[in-house]
Amino acid sequence: MIRRRNVKIIATLGPASDTPEMIRKLFDAGADVFRLNMSHLDHANLKRVHAAVRQVEEDCGRPIGILADLQGPKLRVGEMTGGSAMLEKGARFRFDMNKAPGDKTRAPLPHPEIFNAVSAGQTLLLDDGKIRVLVKAKAKDHIDTEVIIGGKLSNRKGVSLPDTLLPMAAMTEKDRRDIDMALELGVDWVALSFVQRPEDVAEARKIARGRAAVMAKIEKPQALGHLEEIIDIADAIMVARGDLGVELPLEQVPGWQKRLTRAARRSGKPVVVATQMLESMISSATPTRAEVSDVATAVFEGADAIMLSAESAAGQYPVEAVTMMDKVAQSVEGDPTYPGIIYAQRAEPEATGADAISAAAHSVADTLNAAAIVCWTNSGSTGLRAARERPLFPIIVLTPVPATARRLALVWGLHCVLTEDAKDLDDLSDRAGRIAFSEGFAQPGQRIVVTAGVPLGTPGATNMLRVSFVGRRDRD
């Protein structure tokens, strides 16, 4: 199955879509990677859904990526008398360690780390930013605030601290149990929620030990101050606009989306744009014009993947949402302005052999009007460097490693094919031509550009480029 677009689609699985039959429909509609949200999955259901995706993968004969998204630390107020209380603008409101139910003057906040870190003049956001309070004073066991934006505060609503660097890790004990199970099952990507600093990502990578790639979700303002270091240590980033839009002024989110996307592209790291992309399709068979434009913007920016959350997990139209996203992506990539925008954002090659070969492959393929670039890889690094160039013709990745093919299913423009390692240089070129033909990317007589590492099978040693003709015997 060939995707007629370069950007990839991630679909979140949930009650509306986690059966083998629905997963197959979503894959056929265009989903390349499936997200498993650990906020809503116990381990028994994680095993069930993981097995269902792998069964669909086997039936389709095409590598499918699985992303396990960790819940991360959730900061919440305690219980409220009667279930809720109305906070009035201008009123004083206290948070304390008392477990007694709250009222319109106070609420329990069972998180000592907040009391230790917050300072006067900082802001606390409640219930996804609907309520805003300003810290006026604090003591060891309470925080006194003024209500800036009022509203109804209900039991267990979330608390965000956009101005405060909290002395807590991005992974909770639940996350540690979840990541251990996900790695045991063999997921391809692990997404780390509420990253604040590079050390958070380093901890997850230490646990993963290469068994899965680690994606840093950028959803806290504190992460923006360490962006380059986080991108450097992570395998990919996600622009998680939901929580980022709570803790940042909403008008700043589009600009940060562009900056995050371009920073990741410069580094050659995959970048995912997520949250509320087709939100109205949770209950409507068609999206709004604004949502279509939002998806299109991410595609024009050259994001590696665009993601559906509740639209595919719990919505009434999961297949239609994936189909719509696929249509928008194909339309954007066929737009006359798309090549110029993508080329204008190309990053200069880094001073490495792999980047030099990838840049040369792009240039040679352009000059020869080649049918495709074919990359042999074990670790996946060759495919990543080829994708960083954003060539506007197919990139076929050949690998003998299933885990590599599955991870690269998330990366812009890569069509991954499992095949055994090449025996020699002739086999390397001949098989590249046969596969380019059989997969529908090239016809006899057309040229392809082949990259690989010599000695063959050496990880991270891309140092060879060949121009090869697709011969008639490649049809066999």
Q: Which residues are identified as catalytic?
A: 35, 76, 217, 275
Q: What's the rounded Cα separation, in Å, for the pair 309 and 218?
A: 16
Contact criterion met (CB below 8 Å) for 4 and 30: no
Helix ranges restricted to H, 219-315: 221-224, 227-233, 241-247, 253-267, 289-300, 310-313
Contact criterion met (CB below 8 Å) for 422 and 431: yes
Q: What's the rounded Cα separation, in Å, for the pair 100 and 79?
A: 8
Which bin fits 58, alpha (ψ -120 to 50), beta or left (φ > 0)? alpha
β-strands 131-138, 123-126 pairing: antiparallel
* DSSP symbols for 102-114: B-SSEEE---HHH
Strand ranges for 97-235 from DSSP E: 106-108, 123-126, 131-138, 142-149, 151-154, 159-160, 189-192, 213-218
Q: Please provide the distance, in angstroms rounded to a whole number, between the alpha carbons at the two ends of the chain.
A: 19
Q: What's the rounded Cα separation, in Å, for the pair 132 and 404?
A: 45
The residue whose two tokens read 């559906």 is: 308
Residue 418, strand partner residues? 399
The residue whose two tokens read 């669909």 is: 56
The residue whose two tokens read 């086997």 is: 58
Say whether 26 sits in a helix, a strand or coil. Answer: helix
Question: Which H or E element spans position 463?
Answer: strand 462-469
Instruction: Kindly list the distances between the CA atom of residue 382 and the CA atoms of 125, 169, 215, 375, in Å, as whole numbers in the listed order.
Output: 44, 33, 19, 7
Question: Which H or E element spans position 474?
Answer: none
Q: What's the rounded Cα separation, in Å, for the pair 62 and 145?
A: 55
Buried b (16+ CB within 10 A) or exposed e, 75-107: bebbebeeeebebeeeeebbbbebeebbebebb
The residue whose two tokens read 């040679």 is: 364
Contact criterion met (CB below 8 Å) for 256 and 244: yes
